[in-house]
Structures are given as structure tokens and as C-alpha cells.
Amino acid sequence: MTHALEGGCLCSSVRYSAKAQPVMVGHCYCVDCRKSSGTSHCTHAAVPDASLSMSGELRFYERPADSGNLVSRGFCPACGSAILSRNSGMPGMTFIRVSSLDDPEAVEPQMTVYAARAPSWAVLDRAKPVFDIMPEGGPEAAMPAS
């Protein structure tokens, strides 16, 4: 990747830049992602914390995932835009909401998780790995070796 991933919220109070290429990009159809996104799924780009710089204030909502790990979802307190999440089971990683990117074409989803929880009308890209639940070892374990 030659350019940083840049994005922010709807009202521009929160801005971020990630200088590292995402470790993975994927769609998630778990109930929490569906409800927090207001649609059928979330698309996340996982980047190392050290590559991420942010300006503005985020408010966080925390809730245990199916795994028991605590997931903290960060959103703009002014406009409500979902920006990122962090999972206690994956320290050192931040999951940027692809919907908050200035250019969503900057990344391409590589997999789908929790497909068994997708609504019947959701269109899944079966040309890429699709998992009914979270793969053992998390999404990183499902990534093809490079």
C-alpha cells in the first residue's frame, strides 16, 4: 500500500489515518455487527494500533463477544458514526469500520465470518472464504499464508 487509510465520521469531528496495510479485511454478520451497523453486516479492516493516529473524541460501548472477549466499539459522540472497534482477545489491533474510510475502494474484503447469521437476503461473496462462525484462532487464522 502506498497511501495511508484515512477516514472519519460524518460530521468530521473524528479523523484518523492508518499508515500500515491492513492485516485482514472482512465482513462480519454477527448479531452485534448487524445491530451496531444498522444493516446486514460490518466490514472491518484490521490494522496495528501503532500505525493508527487519530484526532477528535470517541465514545465507546463495550460488550462481550461470543468468545467472551470484550469488544469496545468506538463512535463519534456528536454524529454517532461508527469508527472502529477493539477486541480484548486481539491486543495491538484496531478494527476500522470500512464504512468510515474516505475511500472504501482502498481495501477489499478477503473473507466473511458468521455467515450462518446472515439474513437470507444477504449476498455473500462465495469466491472468498466464508465461515459459518468465527474460525478457530480468529480471523487471522483463516487468512491464506502469504
Per-residue confidence (pLDDT) for residue 68, from 0 to 100: 87
Phi, psi of 109 (to 5 degrees): -60, 140
**pTM for the whole thing?**
0.90
Q: Which CATH superfamily is domain 5-142 in?
A: glutathione-dependent formaldehyde- activating enzyme (gfa) (3.90.1590.10)
Residue 108: predicted pLDDT: 96
Could you give the CA distance from residue 14 to residue 94 in angstroms, rounded to a whole number?
A: 15
According to DSSP, the β-strands at 42-48 and 52-55 are unpaired
Structure confidence by residue, pLDDT tens digits, 64-118: 988 889 999 999 999 999 999 999 999 999 999 999 999 999 999 999 999 999 9
Q: At 61, is the pLDDT very low, low, confident or very high (cuts 50, 70, 90)?
A: very high
Domain extents in the chain:
5-142
